[in-house]
Amino acid sequence: MKNKIPRWLIGLFLSLSLFNVNAIAQPKSLGIFDDQSDVGPVKHKGSGTYDSASQQYHLEGSGTNVWGTHDEFHFVWKKMKGDFILRANAEFIGKGVEMHRKIGWMVRSSLDTNSKHINAVVHGDGLTSLQFRRTVSGATEEIKSTLTHADVIQLERKGNTYIMSVAHKGETFVTEKLDDLDLGDDVYVGLFICSHNPDVSEKAVFNNVRIVVPAGKDLVPYKSYLGSSIEILDLENQTSKVIYQIPNSLQAPNWTNDGKSLIYNRDGKLYNFDLATLTPKEINTGVASKNNNDHVISFDGKTLAVSSGNGEKGASVGFTVPIGGGEAKQITPTGPSYMHGWSPDGKYIVFCGDRNGEYDVYRIPSGGGPEVRLTDAKGLDDGPEYSPDGKYIYFNSVRSGLMQVWRMKADGSEQTQLTNDDFNNWFPHVSPDGKWIVYITFLKDEVSPGDHPFYKHVYLRVMPVGGGPSKVVAYLYGGQGTINTPSWAPDSKHLAFVSNSNLLFPIFPIGK
């Protein structure tokens, strides 16, 4: 018997296809880029194309080299100012001719062959490096990465500092940094390819291509916000597609049990986002009028547990409400209370609660009643969620120093640490088939263990449900609101998450 394609996935493909008709109809569409150029006197004209259905970029180009005092290559570019983060998965197509054929990201002062520039590059033989020319017609310099054969390439600008972060897909980044390179504020940024042989052309494909404008120094947390994008990640090939954007904050997409919708919060309200039409509709949550990003769907798909700042002095308290909307019923008697997980039988909800200045995991009957404290370790315990069989509760705890993923039995016994690495790991979510956990990872040099702020460099990582090696499945700029809630698709093969940027692109659906 052939495997049936889930209806939600068919609907998503159809809606993206209908949207893409308009994108394809635009002449010479290059997706997020402005234009393309052959730089230098190349023998064979290069090309760059954007596939709107897959959100992939294909480049073909020739050129003698990107080195020395001048360059020859093909460049797909966008004019930009200020700080930015460039990221993509990159792969050569075919065996190739020259061992030093090159692909990667480039930042360039001009399109002249002798321009000042910097590039994060992968060579045909696997050499991965940060190459740069400080002056017009100056000699190219190089910082070699300890990692070779990188297929995830990130290049970030902070003023005159440039940071290259590279990885093998599934692994965390290895980083090199260059200070005091002045290319001017107004630059060309983009993807490039060079064959390293003027007589041949080489080809490459780029996935997960993102240009991010990060938060500025003047951004006030929880007062001002960057734009938000909903992305759908295919775990099998680790590629994601942007399906919706707004110029401010939306957070925490839950995937509904029927696979047809995502539920997210925005400006104190909850919305049902229809995956077939790529449009949101507000959910009536009654007296729960100040909803945050801690909301979760019951296993039977009929009820939402929401957290809303309707408590004393604006504290978040827990409510339940029909998933289609209706009157909300207050569940937790006091706050702060942040709702995170239903028991599979629907009888209980687990949440993170602050009682007497200590945040712990609590359990409460879903119809209301006495709450039971399940953790009592010093420090923050957060993000509790039941396994699909109801035997365990997964949560994150700072008790061992950094924030790590833990597991306990449903009665709170046998509390066991599952991750033990040099990162801060938050919000473990168990896949519907009970096999995997996805969680979000913050860098310890950016974020303190007890915090999960907006607008940081984060990873989404997956590990076996019982613990074991973790694999990075997404590299992104996000944090608070990215996956605070369960975001697995019903097929356990896709994830929904939120990424952030101060830059939106009209090739993707944009809401108000």
- Per the listing, tokens 């990107």 go with 66
Same structural domain, 138 and 174: yes
Cα(12)–Cα(206) distance, integer angstroms: 22
CB atoms within 10 A of CB 253: 28
100 alpha-carbon distance from chain centroid: 31
Same structural domain, 180 and 60: yes
Partners of residue 424 on adjacent β-strands: 442
**In 266-351, which residue ranges form alpha helices assigned H by DSSP?**
none
**404-421 pLDDT tens trace:** 999 999 999 999 999 999
Q: What is each CA distance from 95 to 92, 99, 124, 195, 204, in whole angstroms?
A: 8, 10, 9, 12, 11
- Please state the rounded mean pLDDT for residues 379-399: 98
| Residue 10 within any structural domain of the chain | no
Cα(226)–Cα(85) distance, integer angstroms: 14
Same structural domain, 147 and 270: no
**41 exposure class (CB count in 10 Å sphere: 0-12, 13-18, 19+):** exposed
Same structural domain, 242 and 196: no
At residue 503, what is the residue type?
A: L
Same structural domain, 91 and 147: yes
| Residue 147 within any structural domain of the chain | yes
Same structural domain, 233 and 204: no
| Residue 347 within any structural domain of the chain | yes
Would you place residue 7 in the very low, low, confident or very high pLDDT band (cuts 50, 70, 90)?
low
DSSP state for residue 313 in the 8-state scheme: G
- Per the listing, tokens 């493909």 go with 13
| Residue 506 within any structural domain of the chain | no
Question: What average pLDDT does the chain have?
Answer: 95
Number of structural domains the chain divides into: 2
Radius of gyration of the chain (CA): 24
pLDDT at 200 over 70: yes
| Residue 165 within any structural domain of the chain | yes
Parent domain of 164: 31-212
Sheet of 358-365: strands edge to edge? 337-342, 348-355, 358-365, 372-373
Same structural domain, 239 and 138: no
The answer to whether the beta carbons of residues 74 and 192 sit under 8 Å apart is yes
pLDDT at 31 over 70: yes
pLDDT at 67 over 50: yes
pLDDT recorded at residue 22:
41
336 alpha-carbon distance from chain centroid: 28
Cα(167)–Cα(208) distance, integer angstroms: 14
Same structural domain, 474 and 331: yes
**158 exposure class (CB count in 10 Å sphere: 0-12, 13-18, 19+):** middle
Q: Which of 154, 178, 212 is the last residue of a domain?
A: 212
Q: Which of 212, 242, 270 is the last residue of a domain?
A: 212
Same structural domain, 233 and 206: no
| Residue 242 within any structural domain of the chain | yes
| Residue 17 within any structural domain of the chain | no
**295-318 pLDDT tens trace:** 999 999 999 999 999 999 999 999
Cα(500)–Cα(270) distance, integer angstroms: 19
**11-28 pLDDT tens trace:** 565 555 544 544 433 446
Same structural domain, 268 and 146: no
CB atoms within 10 A of CB 49: 15
- CATH number for the domain including 495? 2.120.10.30
**Which tokens sit at 316?**
């978040």
| Residue 217 within any structural domain of the chain | no
pLDDT at 5 over 70: no
DSSP state for residue 312 in the 8-state scheme: G
Q: What is each CA distance from 150 to 25, 369, 441, 477, in whole angstroms?
A: 34, 54, 21, 20
pLDDT recorded at residue 27:
46
Same structural domain, 145 and 99: yes
- Angle at 175 (CA atoms; ends 82, 75), nearest 5 degrees: 55
- CATH number for the domain including 194? 2.60.120.200
**133-160 pLDDT tens trace:** 999 999 999 999 999 999 999 999 999 9
DSSP state for residue 465 in the 8-state scheme: T
Cα(432)–Cα(493) distance, integer angstroms: 10
- Per the listing, tokens 């006091």 go with 334
- Please state the rounded mean pLDDT for residues 227-248: 97
Same structural domain, 257 and 163: no
pLDDT recorded at residue 29:
87
